[in-house]
Chains A and B, each alone.
Chain A
Amino acid sequence: MVTTDTFKRGFYKGITTFFELSKILVPVYIGVQLLSISGILNTIAGFCTPIMSVFGLPGEASLVLILGYFSGGYAALGAMAVIELTGVQITTLAIMVSIAHSLITEGAVIRKLGVSTTASITLRLLFSFIMGFLYNFIFG
């Protein structure tokens, strides 16, 4: 039976779970934003430029990946819009970013469940590289 109690219970559980998650989301989110604002991400992207050709991508694409890995999918999309890419390159980048994004924030969420953040992040980066490489290898 669905009663008003059902809604009250759901709302209460939603709020408590939200606050439980916020305890880790807020500090981590602020940290990542500071990393982005301080220009550190641009520096890291600079180091990664030479290896972009492995995925059939131009050097500038490193910033898209780094922003995606650290900040998230939307940040990567923003960066993607300003560089010139072919259809295959766009899909390669989208595959890589959709598999691995917001690694620090989502890693913290994984940690909250008692699962290894390192395992999660390693797996995501590994498959981001493998799938990006394969897609370009097959369709590029």
Chain B
Amino acid sequence: MAIILNLLTSLISFLWSIARILIPIMVVIEIFKDTKLIDKISNAFRPVSNFFTLSEQSGISMLFGIIFGLTIGAGAIIQSTKDYDIDKRSIFLICMFLSLCHAVFEDSIIFAASGANPIALLAARFLSATMITFIFSRILKKVPHEEEKHE
């Protein structure tokens, strides 16, 4: 009985830890959209998107994932695929990057607090993520005209 109770409490706090970030982020994204700020952020992020040959609207989901974590990034991707026509190739590349490198602030802080070197952590994650995503982006060819598709 105690085990089930324990499991339920940890499940609820796990879900709460996602909801309390995901819901505000979605509100922030809507504010960004309505103020056109999203275009500015996408523009600022464009060099990165171009480097990994990502489609334009998907860069912002990657940014959210890097800052807030894989689940939040995934939420942003799910939402943005409803609003825009994002190609599978970009989603794959973002997933590969975020698999290795996400929630960089939170992770670095909690591990640094227990004595790890945060610079080494960040460097190891960014290096591996950048390397592998770059390699995949050059192996996987863009499907022609994919971005011109409109629903």
Contact = CB atoms under 8 A, between A and B. Distances in A.
A131 B124 contact: yes
Chief secondary structure at chain A's binding surface = helix
B19 A18 contact: yes
B121 A110 contact: no
B142 interface: no
Chief secondary structure at chain B's binding surface = helix
Contact of A11 (B26, B78, B95, B120): B26
Interface residues of A, number: 54
A12 B100 CA distance: 30
Interface string A112-140: 11110001100110010011000100010
Interface string B14-36: 11001100111111111100110
Interface residues of B, number: 49
Contacts of B108: 98
A87 B115 contact: yes
Contacts of B115: 85, 87, 90-91
Interface of A: 1-3, 6-7, 9-11, 13-15, 17-18, 20-22, 25-26, 29-30, 33-34, 37, 73-74, 77, 80-81, 85, 87, 90-91, 93-95, 97-99, 106, 109-110, 112-115, 119-120, 123-124, 127, 130-131, 135, 139
